[in-house]
Amino acid sequence: MPGPTPGCPEMSLPPLLLLLPLLTSKPAGATLIRIPLRRVYTGSGPLNPLRGWGNAQEPLRLGGPSPGGNSTFVSLSNFLNAQYYGTIGLGTPPQNFSVVFDTGSSNLWVPSKRCYFFSLPCWFHNRFNANASSSFKPNGTKFAIQYGTGRLSGILSEDKLTIGGTMGASVMFGEALWEPSLVFTFALPDGILGLGFPILAVDGVQPPLDSLVDQGALDKPVFSFYLNRDPAVVDGGELVLGGSDPAHYIPPLTYVPVTVPAYWQIHMERVKVGTGLTLCAQGCAAILDTGTSLITGPWEEIRALHKAIGGFALLRGEHLIQCSKISTLPPISFNLGGVWFNLTAQDYVLQITLGGVRVCLSGFGALDVPPPEGPFWILGDVFLRSYVAVFDRGNGKEGARVGLARARPPGS
């Protein structure tokens, strides 16, 4: 080995000084980008979920912190206490759109400047103008998506995606030309960005998350949701692409394997209402879905649940709860991965104000899904406001999984 350079005395730095640059420097590709968005809170009641269930092109198959990894943060806003959405950009320069980040679908679409004249939702939302983008690449393939509460059709196009301040990945997306469903007219977001598995993508289009990973914008297909439940604050929460933020939850994360890599479906061992009622007694399927506002389950089981908590049925399937009895209602607990995830009545009762009067509604709804896909429960925003979910698509060696941990209270 060569000795010290002549004329340059050999220096021995204290270990702490040698370590200091490592502690103060940021690892390559680990930039965290946060975009604060304003919460729009109207005080209205929960809407029927405008969720994304894109039709799969083939039958459904059964089947923690990320140091040093790319992570991109996109703040979310609450929509009518039922929808969380954020802003993305498409094109060069970016044209901004508000979209629902939906784990129950896998396509990205926004209204088009070329939409049909009688497509009413186009006139109430931002529309993509291909002629105003220098990076636009036409495709022209026709697409159509049928959702649970609406449908739309249009053409596929390709352009640059800006998300959380990060720009550069090219994505295939839908330009909606025809939106005949009124639900899109009254929805505040412009479109939907799906975060489900590729099998759900209509026309085999590569989902946006896969495009971001393949083109180096993200290290791995992992994302997490923190949904702020406090309507008094501006921030509605955060979607973290590429990892998770430990400041959002109370460790540890409990990981549960995905059993059907289409929707984010996992196995739920059982559900308990207080100490007197057990549901899903033999185990059942559960789907974590950011595009569903409530927690849903089979009709018979939800009926028994509402009987146990004293819910009164309303006309649209919603159940009224006596506000004065919230403090006496039992906890409702979900056993996932061998761990109990508890919701108090403060968690599962939606408290809204109508005409100056406080009204309390159950956060549970009935939904019967026939075999072979069903029956299953959906753990929607009522659950995800209390528990941060880390969605990990896995890799060739490890399968997909979902990590769950109690969300930190706002301001903690």
pLDDT score at 16: 35
Q: With beta carbons less than 8 A apart as the criterion, state whether 211 and 160 touch.
A: no
255 contact partners, CB below 8 Å, separation of at least 6:
337, 392, 401, 402, 403, 404
Whether 137 has a pLDDT exceeding 80, the answer reads yes
Q: Confirm whether 245 is a catalytic residue.
A: no
Domain residue ranges of the chain, discontinuous segments joined by +: 34-41+71-218, 245-406
pLDDT score at 206: 97
pLDDT mean over 108-136: 94
Distance CA 27, CA 149 (A): 44
Using the structure block, give the residue that is written with the tokens 């501006």.
234
The pairing of beta strand 364-366 with beta strand 357-362: unpaired
- Say which amino acid occupies 242: G
Does 34-41+71-218 carry CATH code 3.40.50.2000? no
Q: Confirm whether 235 is a catalytic residue.
A: no
Whether 204 has a pLDDT exceeding 70, the answer reads yes
Whether 3 has a pLDDT exceeding 50, the answer reads no
Interval 224-275: pLDDT, tens: 998 887 765 657 788 998 888 899 999 999 999 999 999 899 999 999 999 9
Superfamily of domain 245-406: Acid Proteases (2.40.70.10)
The answer to whether the bond into 372 is cis (omega within 30° of 0) is: yes
To the nearest whole number, what is the mean pLDDT of the chain? Answer: 80
Whether 52 has a pLDDT exceeding 90, the answer reads no
pLDDT mean over 53-79: 37
pLDDT score at 273: 98
Residue 67 banded pLDDT, cuts 50, 70, 90: very low
Query: CA-based diameter of the chain, in Å?
Result: 90
From 159, 210, 289, 381, the catalytic residue: 289
Residue 91 banded pLDDT, cuts 50, 70, 90: very high
pLDDT mean over 50-77: 37
pLDDT score at 399: 93
By CB atoms closer than 10 A (0-12, 13-18, 19+), residue 391 is: buried
From 102, 159, 190, 210, the catalytic residue: 102
Q: For the ranges 4-13, 148-157, 338-347, which has the lowest average pLDDT?
A: 4-13
